[in-house]
Amino acid sequence: MATHSETVDILVDDEHIAGTFLTPPEKMPGVLFVHGWGGSQQRDLTRARGIAGLGCICLSFDLRGHAQTAAQQQTVTREQNLRDLLAAYDLLAAHPHIDPAAIAVVGTSYGGYLAAILTALRPVKWLALRVPALYCDDDWDMPKRQLDRDTLNRLRRRHVLAEENRALAACAAFRGDVLIVESEDDSYVPHETIMSYRAAFQRTHSLTHRIIDGADHALSSERCQEAYTSILVDWATEMVIGARLDERAHAGFRPVDGA
């Protein structure tokens, strides 16, 4: 991003010399984290701190039916959780220091599924999906806990076309940058589901696919947790820093070396 410059006079020995303040832009990228079913925002906080260090404003939150509202887990629907996500997105986008054209969404499993749908409803520049789950469009307003597990397993074990599924259709229309992170030994989101997502992304600016060797769905080992954190932060660094360099180039920034 281009910096703001302000010329100043510096008084020294009854004389004036010229100086220039260079300050970072007022608007910064925003990053929204969406946890998976049965999870919470707690695991996202460590990664959010790392990405905040890049000069981003991060927001994590608990979907209804989780953490303090766990009592609602038997009745909460996908529609309600999507509204949770929309409300969180709108709060982040309204932050006075956020650049609304530079928002990333990081979703895990069920949160990845909801994040994909979000891209059809709100502007998203960067989308990171870890083990994104897939659900049938039918029974959208049924409590999620009541969805038939056998039906879901059959869906996830076959190649699903973008036109068959709301989340994949949103992916097909997405034009930003995408990161997909797969777990090698995932018993909930198999390789076929990952490939359905990957095949849907036909218009992206970039697509990065990483597989964490020996990882299960929940990243149960500390090694796998650290591997995912490294993948996510490295990708976010490339995206955010790369965007800033591009904006500086477009603004006509030219470094000058002197003796």
* From 23-32, 36-45, 120-129, 248-257, the region with the lowest mean pLDDT: 248-257
- Mean pLDDT value of segment 188-207: 98
Q: Is residue 106 part of a domain?
A: yes
Q: Is residue 256 part of a domain?
A: no
- Mean pLDDT value of segment 154-170: 98
Q: How many domains does the chain have?
A: 1
Please tell me the predicted confidence (pLDDT) of residue 12.
Answer: 87
Task: Please determine, for residue 251, whether its predicted confidence score (pLDDT) is greater than 70.
Answer: no
Q: Is residue 41 part of a domain?
A: yes
The 10s digit of each residue's pLDDT in 127-136 is 999 999 999 9
Mean pLDDT of the chain: 91
- Supply the CATH number for residue 218's domain: 3.40.50.1820
Q: Is residue 8 part of a domain?
A: no
Please tell me the predicted confidence (pLDDT) of residue 250.
Answer: 52
DSSP sequence for the chain: -PPEEEEEEEEETTEEEEEEEEE--S-EEEEEEE--TT--THHHHHHHHHHHTTT-EEEE---TTSGGGGGGTTT-BHHHHHHHHHHHHHHHHTSTTEEEEEEEEEEETHHHHHHHHHTTTS--SEEEEES-----STTTTSBGGGS-HHHHHHHHTS---GGG-HHHHHHHH--SEEEEEEETT-SSS-HHHHHHHHHH--S-SEEEEEEETT--TT--SHHHHHHHHHHHHHHHHHHHHHHHHHHHHHTT-------
The 10s digit of each residue's pLDDT in 21-31 is 776 667 899 99
Q: Which domain holds residue 211?
A: 29-250
